Structure formats: structure tokens, C-alpha cells
């Protein structure tokens, strides 16, 4: 719930604040800040991936790389770019479109055995 409220507040705030000239720099700064917050939350809750990551199968690593490239890299950059060009309410419709696109791509790229 807190994450959803923070995302909505951040979207509204970023629409009306002074931004860097480059939208990609804006996306990178937001991603970096989110990563720092998640690292602090993991440290506070004593979550560790030391015992999980070595046991992960190759398919899991490929899924993680896909999420990094398309979810974070392309998807978030597109979100920040659209936020510059349109209203937050219109851009917020990504929440309805992204799951459909993810299911389509998942079925296309990784058909069931």
C-alpha cells in the first residue's frame, strides 16, 4: 500500500518539479533512488539473498535479466518520457496494459512444455 501511494505521489510530483534536461537521466536517478531504498529495507529486515541466488535455475536468471532490460530499462524510461508528454492520469493506465503485454510476451517467448 505504501509503495502504491509513493508511486502515485512521485508521479504527480515529478510532473510539476524542475527536471533534468534528459529524460533518461531522470529515469536513471529515480531507479537509483528506488534501489537504495530497497537495499535499506532489506538491511533493516535482515533479508539476505546469499542462500537463494546460488540455487536459482538458469530460467530464473533469464527471467530476472528480462525484467531488468524490459521492465526497468525500457518500461520505466517510457513511463518517465510519457509522464513528460501527458497527464499522470492518462499515463497511469500502464497498470492495465502492462500485465496484458507481459502475458502475451510470456506466452510468445516461453511456450509451455
pLDDT digits (tens, 9 = 90+) for 1-10: 787 787 778 7
Model confidence pLDDT, tens digit, residues 59-113? 777 877 888 887 777 777 777 778 778 887 788 787 788 788 878 887 887 766 6
Judge whether 83 and 15 are in contact, CB under 8 Å: yes
Model confidence pLDDT, tens digit, residues 39-73? 888 778 876 655 556 666 777 778 778 888 877 77
Of the two residues 33 and 111, the one the predictor is more confident about is 33
List of long-range contacts for 105-109, beta carbons under 8 Å, 24+ apart: none
Average pLDDT over every residue of 2-23: 74
pLDDT for res 68: 80
pLDDT at 19 over 70: no
Characterise 10 by phi-psi region: left (phi > 0), alpha (psi -120 to 50), beta (else): alpha
pLDDT for res 53: 60
Q: Measured on CA atoms in the order 56, 60, 28, 48, is the torsion positive or negative? A: negative
Of the two residues 26 and 86, the one the predictor is more confident about is 86
pLDDT at 22 over 70: yes
Amino acid at each position: 500500500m505504501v509503495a502504491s501511494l509513493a508511486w502515485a505521489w512521485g508521479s504527480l510530483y515529478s510532473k510539476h518539479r524542475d527536471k533534468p534536461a534528459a529524460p533518461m537521466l531522470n529515469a536513471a536517478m529515480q531507479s537509483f533512488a528506488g534501489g537504495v531504498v530497497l537495499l535499506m529495507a532489506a538491511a533493516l529486515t535482515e533479508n539476505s539473498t546469499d542462500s537463494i541466488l546460488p540455487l536459482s535455475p538458469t530460467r530464473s536468471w533469464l527471467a530476472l535479466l528480462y525484467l531488468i532490460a524490459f521492465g526497468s530499462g525500457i518500461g520505466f524510461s517510457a513511463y518517465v518520457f510519457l509522464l513528460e508528454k501527458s497527464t499522470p492520469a492518462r499515463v497511469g493506465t500502464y497498470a492495465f496494459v502492462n500485465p496484458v503485454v507481459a502475458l502475451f510476451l510470456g506466452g510468445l517467448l516461453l511456450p509451455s512444455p
